[in-house]
Amino acid sequence: MNGCVVAGIGTEIGKTVVSAILVEAFAADYWKPVQSGGLDHTDTDEVRSLVSDHVRTFHPEGYRLNLPASPHASAAAEGVTIEKEMLSLPDTDRFLVVELAGGLMVPLNDDLLNIDMVQDWGLPVVLVSSYYLGSINHTLLSIEALRNRHIDISGIIFNGEPVSASRSVILSRSGLDCLLDVPWAEHVDQQFVSACAKEMFRDR
């Protein structure tokens, strides 16, 4: 399987925008295994609206849950248990971008975490980081959790106005590459996503 898992160091970190950039850059398919809340305009809908080529496939979610909460809590509110067997990777010949619902240690049920599924899928992780007080700690802990599971990390994508002191220590301590710096934008649209996608290949 050719693809990656987009994981964030926290909530509201920009995973969906980064996923759209990767879908645009690699002419990829997209899959959100669990959509928790926001069913009127899902992350799949958002990525579809942000990419320029709509020929690619947007695979249906394994679970669509109403409550905007941790997936295990949202599922429990509907009397549903998220089953590992329902979260198998979709079949595709294209590069596949998988966007997690929440961070790596978010529970899907009483026995299953997001990181368990990442390990099971066998795809490398693109880790999305940002610049807020505590982001160094959250980024390095996420990297440590992935490495403890022997999960490959493709690199880090930073999102937002840069803070050089945070960026430099994260990269030096982790030894990972920065795949892209996504600038802050008041409005994110197809043109923004396309420009960021082209930037990924500028020095590669």
Residue entry with tokens 């950039």:
21
Q: What is the pLDDT of residue 203?
A: 61
Asked if pLDDT for residue 134 goes beyond 90, the answer is: yes
Q: Is residue 204 part of a domain?
A: no
The answer to whether residue 161 sits within a structural domain is: yes
Residue 148 belongs to some domain of the structure: yes
Residue 1 is predicted with a pLDDT of 57
> Whose structure tokens read 């394994």?
62
1 lies in a domain?
no
Average per-residue pLDDT for the chain: 95
CATH number of the domain bearing residue 103: 3.40.50.300
- Number of domains present in the structure of the chain: 1
Q: Is the pLDDT score of 204 beyond 90?
A: no
Residue 199 lies in a domain: no
Please say if the pLDDT value at position 96 is more than 70. yes
Q: Please indicate, yes or no, if residue 138 is contained in any of the structural domains.
A: yes
Q: What are residue 105's DSSP bridge partners? A: none
111 found inside a domain: yes
**Mean pLDDT throughout 48-55?**
87
Q: Is residue 2 part of a domain?
A: no
Which domain, by its residues, includes 72? 8-192
**Of the listed 15, 32, 84, 198, which one is catalytic?**
32
Return the percentage of the chain with pLDDT > 90, whole number: 93
Any catalytic annotation for residue 32? yes
Q: Which residues contact 24 (CB under 8 A, 6 or more apart)?
A: 50, 51, 52, 53, 193, 194, 196, 197
Close Cβ partners of 4 (under 8 Å, ≥ 6 residues apart):
22, 95, 96, 97, 98, 123, 124, 125, 126, 154
